[in-house]
């Protein structure tokens, strides 16, 4: 089972300049990343809520992108 966690990365937009974006990665029991999606939002709390939902639901890697997309829409 994967464990999902939030990570941050620095990004650049020609419209707003440099900013910190937050993403989610799904880690295997051995600590390697099975899935990773960067720059979901600048709102860390929002991304933490999504990661918590993924963990509580036991989301599998194959469904990760679809679940995140559904939550965001």
pLDDT digits (tens, 9 = 90+) for 64-73: 999 999 998 8
pLDDT, tens digit (0-9, with 9 covering 90-100), for 30-61: 999 999 999 999 999 999 999 999 999 999 99
> Nearest 5°: CA angle at 3, between 45 and 9?
50
pTM score of the predicted model:
0.90
Show contacts of 63-71: CB within 8 Å, 24+ apart.
64/26, 64/35, 64/37, 65/35, 65/37, 68/24, 68/37, 68/40
């Amino acid at each position: 089972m994967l464990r999902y966690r939030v990570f941050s990365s620095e990004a650049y937009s020609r419209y707003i300049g440099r900013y910190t974006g937050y993403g989610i990665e799904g880690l295997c029991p051995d600590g390697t990343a099975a899935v990773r999606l960067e720059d979901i939002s600048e709102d860390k709390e929002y991304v933490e809520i999504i990661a918590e939902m993924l963990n509580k639901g036991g989301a599998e890697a194959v469904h990760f992108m679809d679940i995140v997309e559904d939550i965001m829409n």
